[in-house]
């Protein structure tokens, strides 16, 4: 199973277990605890076990598997989850999946807090490799807008500019030199404040620090369902 195709509740459960894997490596988390803290629904959990991401152990020795205190995958059934006493923790593959989701969560969180960002800037701020952005786009959690965009961030406040089409009528002067640019020139327009424009040679240097102009990445409505904060 591709971790990026998990439901929001399953995503949050793996992220929570991944964030607390050191403290929960032996005892695990009771289903009731996990569902409250992640948060997630009990119905989200059996599929995580079926994918090999979590294993479980019941506190009653009589209901454990053949290896005594060792976790047993077959303990994670809808019936066992329903009683809330089963303890869950990550397998090795679950830890790998949680690490991937951590990177994905960084992307959706940055887009949620900062708004749309050019690809190089998002890669820098969220530490996201290009292949992860591609997978999130294929999954429908982010949207990529073609065109040339530049920008920078101050904290989570983003300043993003798009290159206007050649020949567009200019009604606003350049913010730096104060002239009304000719139609043939490359003009950068603030996507949040269209009246803020720069000639190509006047745009602040920090807009080009993170690389060449690139596509713009935005969070989709589906992606907003996956925003998760660490607790």
User: What are the helix (H) ranges across 115-169?
Assistant: 119-126, 130-139
As to burial, measured by CB atoms within 10 angstroms (0-12 exposed, 13-18 middle, 19+ buried), residue 152 is: buried
CA–CA separation, 199 and 30 (whole Å): 59
Backbone φ, ψ for residue 134 (5° rounding): -60, -45
Measured CA to CA in angstroms, residue 48 lies from 43, 60, 87, 190, 201 at distances of: 10, 22, 13, 44, 53
pLDDT for the residue 167:
63
Give the pLDDT confidence of 56-86 residue by residue, as tens digits: 876 666 655 544 444 444 457 677 677 677 8
pLDDT for the residue 73:
45
- Beta bridge partners, 160, equal 151
User: What interhelical angle do 92-114 and 119-126 show, nearest 10?
Assistant: 120
Give the pLDDT confidence of 163-182 residue by residue, as tens digits: 987 666 667 888 888 887 66
**Residues 6+ away with beta carbon under 8 Å from 139:** 4, 5
What global pTM score does this model have?
Answer: 0.85
Tokens of 181: 């640019």
Average of pLDDT values for 126-155?
Answer: 96
pLDDT for the residue 159:
95
């Amino acid at each position: 199973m591709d971790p990026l195709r998990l439901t929001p509740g399953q995503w949050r459960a793996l992220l929570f277990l991944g964030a607390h894997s050191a403290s929960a490596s032996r005892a695990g988390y009771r289903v009731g605890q996990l569902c409250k803290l992640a948060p997630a629904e009990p119905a989200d959990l059996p599929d995580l076990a079926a994918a090999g991401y979590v294993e479980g152990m019941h506190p009653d020795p009589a209901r454990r598997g053949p290896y005594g205190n060792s976790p047993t995958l077959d303990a994670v059934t809808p019936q066992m989850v329903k009683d809330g006493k089963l303890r869950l923790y990550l397998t090795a593959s679950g830890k790998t999946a949680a690490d991937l989701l951590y990177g994905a969560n960084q992307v959706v969180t940055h887009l949620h807090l900062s708004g749309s960002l050019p690809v190089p800037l998002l890669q820098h701020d969220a530490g996201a490799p290009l292949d992860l952005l591609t997978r999130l786009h294929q999954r429908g959690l982010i949207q990529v807008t073609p065109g040339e965009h530049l920008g920078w961030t101050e904290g989570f406040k983003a300043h993003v500019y798009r290159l206007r089409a050649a020949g567009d009528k200019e009604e606003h002067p350049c913010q730096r030199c104060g002239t009304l640019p000719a139609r043939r020139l490359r003009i950068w327009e603030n996507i949040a404040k269209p009246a803020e424009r720069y000639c190509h040679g006047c745009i602040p240097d920090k807009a080009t620090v993170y690389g060449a102009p690139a596509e713009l990445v935005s969070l989709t409505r589906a992606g907003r369902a996956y925003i998760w904060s660490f607790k």
